Amino acid sequence: MKKINATPVTVYTVGHSTHSMDRLIEILKSNEISEVVDVRSQPYSRFQPQFNRSDIEGPLRAAGIGYLFLGQELGARSNDTSCYVNGRVQYQRIAATKGFERGIDRVLIESGSNKLALMCAEKEPLECHRTLLVGQALFSQGVSVVHIHSDGRQENHSDALIRLHGMVGLPLEDLFRTSEELLSEALRIQEERVAYVDEKLERESK
């Protein structure tokens, strides 16, 4: 896996949510994003077709924003059945794959010349793998990760993790577990809430 250099690296994340294309571009430009990295496994939306992969790249580029699809490498719906337990995808298993490693390396390379935003669908960063899986993997390597909310405000990943503890009902510290253990548990609980379940694999596991 590529090691980040001494120069601080910041990677942003954003959810397209139910925005119009114009509104998404407005949010990106107000945060000076120069390239969108699409981390959706399935880059299309029946309800928000303006964000289909075939439709989003043109308007972004017309607005001076690059587009890179890394959904195969960094998506949350792996095609590798070994990344599932009882039908539910396991983020740690995805993170251990060569494909994911290549995706992270590509993000680090691109971040050297572009101000990147990892894009997925969900409005709330903590309900999306862009934060719980990809953002956390980058953060653990020393990358500064910043989440752009639907109103355009920014939230540092460290602050999002504090918010996660409250969301899942865990303290930031206690007498019996380290802060690392508590964070790992908070991430596990939230992953169980939001991680993709393959219904076919789930049936086969019963």
Query: For the segment 23-47, what is each residue's pLDDT rounded down to a tens digit?
Result: 999 999 999 999 999 999 999 888 8
> Is 184 part of a structural domain of the chain?
yes
Query: Are the CB atoms for 130 and 120 separated by under 8 Å?
Result: yes
Range of the domain at 21: 10-204
> Is 66 part of a structural domain of the chain?
yes
Whether 18 shows a pLDDT value over 70: the answer reads yes
Query: Are the CB atoms for 130 and 119 separated by under 8 Å?
Result: yes
Other beta carbons within 10 Å of 190: 18
> Is 3 part of a structural domain of the chain?
no
> Is 4 part of a structural domain of the chain?
no
147 DSSP β-pair partners: 13, 155
Residue 7: its pLDDT value, please?
54
> Is 143 part of a structural domain of the chain?
yes
Is 67 in a helix, a strand, or coil? strand
> Is 1 part of a structural domain of the chain?
no
Whether 173 shows a pLDDT value over 80: the answer reads yes
> Is 5 part of a structural domain of the chain?
no
pLDDT confidence band for 64 (50 / 70 / 90): very high
Query: Are the CB atoms for 110 and 116 separated by under 8 Å?
Result: yes
Other beta carbons within 10 Å of 62: 9
CATH of the domain at 85: 3.90.190
Average pLDDT score over the chain:
94
Residue 8: its pLDDT value, please?
64
> Is 151 part of a structural domain of the chain?
yes
Structural domains counted in the chain: 1
Other beta carbons within 10 Å of 88: 16
Whether 205 shows a pLDDT value over 90: the answer reads no
